[in-house]
Amino acid sequence: MTPLIPAPGRASGRAVLTAHTRFELTLLARRGEAMVLSLVVPIVGMIAVGLTEVIRLPVGDRLSYAVTGAMALAALATAFTSQAIVVGYERFYGVLKRLGASSLSRSGLLISKTAAIGVLVVGQLVAIGLVGVAVGWRPSLWHLLDAVAVTLLAAAAYSGFALMLASVLRPETTTAVATLVYTLLLIGGGVLFPTPALGDGRFLIPVTAHAEALRAMLTAGTFAPGLAWAGLLAWAVAGVAAARITFRWE
């Protein structure tokens, strides 16, 4: 009988984060059908709004408006709605508690979950962009990296609030609230449908700020308005703080 001699110790923070982010991405990919579904509404909406005249838009370039709007919508669907629902059920089934009974720290889990969702969102935006190009969209690529950065900022904000919701509500309620927020922002967020003019106040709506930033950078080829960055940054800080404060393993 060979004894099993203890040799405790945590791997480096980077190794733990890399391994856990990869694990979360693997699980996200395994629910591939959910990810495709979360792209269906934005892409169908994008084509309907961008290629037909059924809705009156305040801009001339319908397709650019619709593609960037669909991108902002997909980021919301994945990083907020889907994240909140999945994490809510993970808590319900004790998956989070099992991870809590390991060397993975609270912040390690929150960072990994947000990083994985960020990677996924960027991938989805690329997919939407490619569909857009296929139907005639001609983006400006000068600010592509800035567009990725602003998207990660939005994803961090959404993921933070998703983790908070899943921490304070029962999973059924989380699902209902997350879906409601998605629907309200789909209708009123200025992504695919025009909204009443709110002036600079529109930058306080995260999905609107994200869509406008993408429009500036991918369509006009100009740096996004400072207020859009500021609005998203404020949401990201608030979201991450909310997740840190409220997150529970159980």
Partner 1 sequence: MVPALALDEVSIRYGSTLAVDRAGFQVEPGRLLALLGPNGAGKTSLLQVCEGFRRPDAGQVRVLGQDPFADRDALMPRVGIMPQGGGGMHPWAKAGELLRLFASYAARPLDVDDLADQLGLRSFLGTTVRRLSGGEQQRLALALAIVGRPELVFLDEPTAGMDVHARHTTWAVIERLRAGGVAVVLTTHLLDEAERLADEVVIINRGRVIAAGSPAALTSSAGMERLRIDADSALPIRKLRQRLPAGVTVAESPPGSYIVDGELDAEVLAGVMAWFAARSARITSIQSQRRTLEDTFIALTRAGAA
Residue 150 is a binding residue for partner 1 (CB under 8 A): no
Q: Provide the 10 A C-beta neighbour count for residue 75.
A: 32
Residue 32 is a binding residue for partner 1 (CB under 8 A): no
What is the separation of C-alpha 235 from the centre of its chain, rounded to a whole number of angstroms?
A: 12
Q: Is 199 left (phi over 0), alpha (psi -120 to 50) or beta?
A: left
Residue 23 is a binding residue for partner 1 (CB under 8 A): yes
Residue among 86 and 218 whose Cβ is closer to partner 1: 86
Quick one: which segment of 12-20, 61-69, 185-193, 222-230 binds partner 1 (CB under 8 A)? 12-20
What's the rounded Cα separation, in Å, for the pair 100 and 89? 15
- In the complex, the smallest distance separating the C-beta of residue 100 from partner 1, rounded to whole angstroms, is 7
Tokens encoding 121: 């969102």
- In the complex, the smallest distance separating the C-beta of residue 31 from partner 1, rounded to whole angstroms, is 7
- In the complex, the smallest distance separating the C-beta of residue 36 from partner 1, rounded to whole angstroms, is 16
DSSP codes, 121-152: HHHHHHHHHHHHHHTT-----TTHHHHHHHHH
Residue among 4 and 197 whose Cβ is closer to partner 1: 4
Site for partner 1 in 211-250 (CB under 8 A): 249-250
Residue 1 is a binding residue for partner 1 (CB under 8 A): yes
Residue 36 is a binding residue for partner 1 (CB under 8 A): no
Residue among 175 and 208 whose Cβ is closer to partner 1: 175
C-alpha separations of 33 from 28, 84, 159, 179 in Å: 10, 17, 20, 18
What's the rounded Cα separation, in Å, for the pair 66 and 50? 5
Using the structure block, give the residue that is written with the tokens 């089934």. 93
Binding mask 65-104 for partner 1 (x = CB under 8 A): -------------------------x--xxxxxxxxxxxx
Which residues of the chain form contacts with partner 1 (CB under 8 A)? 1-12, 15-16, 19-20, 23, 26-27, 30-31, 90, 93-106, 249-250
